[in-house]
Amino acid sequence: MPAVEKVIADLVIGVDHVGFAVQNLATSIEKWEQVFGATLHSREINQDQGVEEAMLRFSDGSQIQLLAALNPESVIGKFLAKRGEGVQQVALQVSNLELATQRLTEAQIPTVYPTSKSGSNKSSINFIHPKYTGGVLIELVQYSA
C-alpha cells in the first residue's frame, strides 16, 4: 500500500469541538448545562454564517458548539430542514489555517471556502467538504493570538 502524504498533519493541534445543529438555542444550552454539566463559555451571532451559536465547556476543557439557524436559508437552517437536530461538524484546531487551506487545495482536497471566514470567539475557520470525508463536515479553526 503506498504511503499517504500527511497533508496538514503537522498543523493539526487536536479536536477543538463537536458542533450540534439545534432548533432552540436556549433550550439546548439549558439541557447541556443541567444534564451534562457543561458551562456556557460564549454566545454570539455570526451573521456571515447565518447562525446564533453557543460554546459550552466541560471541566476537562473539552467543548461542544450549539448552532441555531438565524434563517431557513442558512447552512444550519438547511441542515435542520433536511436532517433535523444532531451532529453537524467536528472541528480540528490548526496552527496555521491559511497554510492548511493552501495545502489542502494543492492536494485537491476540497474546502468549502477558498480562504478563511470569521468564526466564533475571534477565530478563523474553513471546512473540508464532506464529500471528501465520508459525509462528515470537518471544520478547521485557528484562534487569533
| Element at 109 (helix H, strand E) | none
pLDDT at 38: 98
Stretches in the chain below the pLDDT threshold 70: 1-4
pLDDT at 4: 57
pLDDT at 123: 95
Q: Residue 64 and residue 115: Cα distance in Å, rounded?
A: 24
What are the boundaries of each domain within the chain?
Answer: 12-143
pLDDT at 74: 96
pTM (predicted TM-score): 0.91
The gap between the terminal CA atoms of the chain, to the nearest Å, is 40
Residue with cell 432552540: 24
Its CATH class, for the domain covering 12-143, is alpha beta
